[in-house]
Structure 1
Amino acid sequence: MVGLHLDDIDQRILAELSVDARLSLVTLANRVHLSRNAVKQRMERMERDGVIEGYTLRRGSGPSRRVTAIMLVYRADRMRGAGVVAELARIPEVVRCDILSGEFDLLVTVVAESMDRVGEIWEHVSALPDVENTVTSVSLSRPIDRP
């Protein structure tokens, strides 16, 4: 996977599959605004490159208890350099990363299976050499959820 480049569409495909690995190609293609065939080719490439290693069934005990956390990240280099963003892209639970104006540089959305996993991700991100500071908040509820 050295030198592997995942573009925004690849990241969106991975984010959608992380939430529901059973999505049909047609539904996934609609969500990322590509043809079914283009999505299939991208998924096959990511499988060959080891980005996608398999599709797994995990038995649950009822409704999903996934945790959504928002991380505000202040990079030491401010707007230069892509090292932090590249490292975030390697974390499957990171479903979105926005570059911000203002005090913080990045708004990172994390969807994880547990608070423990959110904590592990926070530790990893805050320990990156180019990260100067982070602020993390956990979503308590989502009264509005538009696509």
Structure 2
Amino acid sequence: MAPESDHPSRDERSTTARSGQTVASAAAPAPRPLDDADRRMLRELVTDARLSVRTLAERLHISRANAYARLDRLQSSGVITGFTARFAPERAGLATTAYVSVNIEQNTWRTVSAELAELPYVESIALLASEFDVLVLVHAPDNATLRSLVLERVQAIPGVLATRTWLAFEEIRGKGPFAQ
């Protein structure tokens, strides 16, 4: 029998942007395809996640019971992984934005990504098919904090072979797949 690989299967790669926790796994039921009402619901929630179910139902022209059922199904199937506020990093005191590429030892993805997810200032972590293995988005208060994070914390994680850091001068968010 072959040893278990530390690289996730395609079904295990669905992760939240903030926590890095797996939200879909091989054991989870396959989600049913989204219909038009599901996509409209996602569009409304992406625009304003604080909408009440009553307002959501009114905007979608469906009953509140249907809205509750759809919302519950989208959450339990892992399509909706949580609700969050978007923020402007620089206005929140996080003036330095960087992308950090990380090369790791083979079969260390799960342990390295779990350790990265626990570090302060880490926004997202992505496993890539690239010249480097992992890309980490960081929002830090300043360059000194970023330097300390990369050189003292990231490079100290067992399995990390090398890092490379790119400072971002400006970030622009796209509309996303469910925007109007």
The interval holding the TM-score normalised by the smaller chain is 0.5 to 0.7
Gaps of 5+ in 2: 1-14, 21-47, 52-73, 76-80, 85-90, 176-180
- Separation in structure 1 between the aligned mates of residue 165 and residue 17 of structure 2, nearest angstrom: 26
Partner residue of 1:132 out of 161, 166, 170: 161
Tell me which stretches of 4 or more aligned residues in structure 1 moved more than 6 Å: none
Q: How high is the TM-score relative to the length of structure 1?
A: 0.55
- Separation in structure 2 between the aligned mates of residue 81 and residue 71 of structure 1, nearest angstrom: 15
Q: How many residues align?
A: 101
Deviation at 1:127, TM superposition (A): 2.0
Name the SS for the 1:91 alignment partner: coil
Identity across the alignment (%): 25
Deviation at 1:103, TM superposition (A): 1.6
CA RMSD of aligned residues (A): 3.3
1:82 aligns with 2:110: yes
- Separation in structure 2 between the aligned mates of residue 65 and residue 80 of structure 1, nearest angstrom: 30
Q: How high is the TM-score relative to the length of structure 2?
A: 0.46
Amino acid corresponding to residue 66 of structure 1 in structure 2: A
- Separation in structure 2 between the aligned mates of residue 9 and residue 64 of structure 1, nearest angstrom: 20
Gaps of 5+ in 1: 1-6, 13-23, 28-32, 44-61
- Separation in structure 2 between the aligned mates of residue 84 and residue 98 of structure 1, nearest angstrom: 11
1:8 aligns with 2:16: yes
- Separation in structure 2 between the aligned mates of residue 95 and residue 125 of structure 1, nearest angstrom: 14
Deviation at 1:89, TM superposition (A): 0.7
